[in-house]
Amino acid sequence: MAANSFKQMSRDGTIKRTDTGMFISLEHIHVREGFNKREDDERTRQADDDLFNYLMNGGTVPPLEVIARDEGGVWVVEGHRRRRCYARCAEAGKPVDRIHIMPFNGNDVQRLARIMTSNNQLPLSDIEQAAVIQELHNAFNQTTSEIAKLVNKSVATVEKLLLLSTANHDVQQEVKSGAVSVDVAVDRVKEFGEKAGEVLQHDKAVAAAQGKSKVTRSSIAPELSVKSARRFVELMANASISDDGVFTIEGPALAEALSIIDEHKAISEARETYRLSQPIPTTEVRGRSLYVMYDGRKLGGHHFIAVKPSGLRWVTKPLLAASQKRLRSSSKSTNSSRRIIMTATNKPMTGAQLDELMAVAMRMQSDSEKMGERSVSMFAYAVQVAVLEIRETRSKYEELQSQNADLAVQLANAESKCRELAGENEKQNTHSEALAVDNAALREVVERMVNQFAMSGISPEEKSINPEKSLMFDAKSALFMPATDAFLAEVRAQGVEMFGEHVKAYNHSAGWQSKHFAAQLRKGAEL
């Protein structure tokens, strides 16, 4: 027997095809038992009544998503409530000829996930969503990340709903009734396990005393709003800051900052009051293991390496008290000027102190998480991050110091080399000046020889067979040396200038004439 199909049902007349789509009789639309995860409760019944009245008054709805049924007809994938209300309309006497349908394209996993992703239905409750996710996880072996993609939710939400699906019945009933939020229920299951239902009863009593009908995170663990925190940061950023690190706020900004601080203090007090009023687990240290107990039952434990049994509790409490004391003191203002003054101190810690602080913060976080002290746990985590950042900064600083030391050595070597080159250059200059003096003396001798030859009637002749005439020619050629001429002119000019400076006190005109004559000497050498 061939499997049923939409094409076959179109041929035998079960499905009627038109320009607007496919239509099928109500009797051929079937509901697979256990496929619809929606619970029959007051919320669902009220939604069904509204949809029934809408259809009775001629309202239209989207087509049902179906798959072919081997035995004939179709199975509903998405549209169980619409099919149920169509049946009520038929029972009430309203003609229901054929119902608009459309094929669902996807496998069995996708069909189950479609229950949560439809935009045309009453949204599933948290409990109903948890049931869908549980079946996807257990029956179809889907991971949380795979489920998240299927149902268009985050992995964290899927994990939360999966945990809710395995919670005790009393916890699920509190969520179903709307008395407890999913977040609180999941948190209590994580913290107290089988005892979560009892703790939720206490949470409900505390919320009722606050005038709240539902237990939420804000009622049991209120926090300063992001808006207020951001505004406080803006106020501090606009404050004047002295060289000593003192922030000063005055006027309306001061009043607004004080209001936010008061809000934070009230929230902190409310959190502490609630913490003290609720059942608190106890801790017990056995050897190197920490055990968290509640009502004589072990909730969990953690093994520490080289941790003294007395150190865990002894360290946590004083640090917490100190941090709270600093918080209270930082919010005080002076009576005279009504200013907020916060002085920043910077005393570097040693490496050993940082290691000790990291160990203390890790123990504090573990202890506070086991005891449900969320604010303390966040503080301890922040301390760990700060220690890691300080370590990284110091490591970079030490690296820069090492690089600077290397650069200093290179600079010293370069300076030493420059001094050596300067000394060598000075020696070269001295040697050059000595050579110039020697050349000037030799030139004077050659001039005397040329003058003597000229007085003897000897004329210069290039390459003459007469040695005296040839020597006369070479001697006169040697006298034409520009560098030597310039040097001699400079020496003569400086001598004239020195003489001018000497006689200027007695004869100003003679001083000026000497400078003019020295300039002429230099000019003659250039020409």
- DSSP characters over 22-63: EEEEGGGEE--TTT-----SHHHHHHHHHHHHHHHTT---PP
Query: Which DSSP symbol is given to 470?
Result: H
CA–CA gap between residue 353 and residue 526 (Å, rounded): 79
Helix, strand or coil for residue 222? coil
Helix, strand or coil for residue 65? strand
**In this structure, which amino acid lies at residue 231?**
R
**In the prediction, which pLDDT does 349 show?**
66
Using DSSP bridges, classify how beta strands 247-248 and 240-241 pair: parallel, antiparallel or unpaired.
antiparallel
N-term to C-term CA, the chain: 124
Residue among 283, 319, 320 at smallest CA distance from 302: 283
Task: Identify the burial level of 189 via C-beta atoms within 10 angstroms of its C-beta, where 0-12 means exposed, 13-18 middle and 19 or more buried.
Answer: buried
| CA distances for 349 relative to 346, 352, 354, 364, angstroms | 9, 8, 6, 20
CA–CA gap between residue 312 and residue 321 (Å, rounded): 15
In DSSP terms, 189 is beta-bridged to: none
**Phi, psi (rounded to 5 degrees) for 73:** 75, -155
Per-residue pLDDT tens digits of the chain, which is 527 residues long = 567 899 999 999 999 999 889 999 999 999 988 777 777 788 888 888 989 998 998 888 889 999 999 999 999 998 889 999 999 999 999 988 899 999 998 888 887 888 777 756 678 888 888 888 988 888 888 899 999 998 888 988 999 999 999 999 999 999 988 999 999 899 888 877 888 888 888 888 878 877 888 988 877 767 777 788 888 888 888 888 888 888 888 888 889 989 988 888 887 777 666 666 655 555 566 665 656 565 566 655 555 444 333 333 333 333 334 334 433 443 333 333 333 333 333 456 677 777 777 788 778 877 777 776 766 666 666 677 777 777 777 777 778 877 877 777 777 777 777 777 777 777 776 766 676 677 777 777 777 777 777 777 777 777 777 777 777 777 767 666 666 666 667 766 777 677 677 666 556 666 667 777 777 766 665 54
Six-digit token string for 155: 């992995």
Total residues belonging to the chain = 527
Tell me if 265 sits within 8 A of 331, measured CB to CB.
yes
Residues in Cβ contact with 447 at an 8 Å cutoff, skipping those fewer than 6 apart: 479
Domain boundaries, the chain: 1-119, 223-278+310-346, 349-468, 481-527
CATH class of 1-119: alpha beta
Helix, strand or coil for residue 339? coil
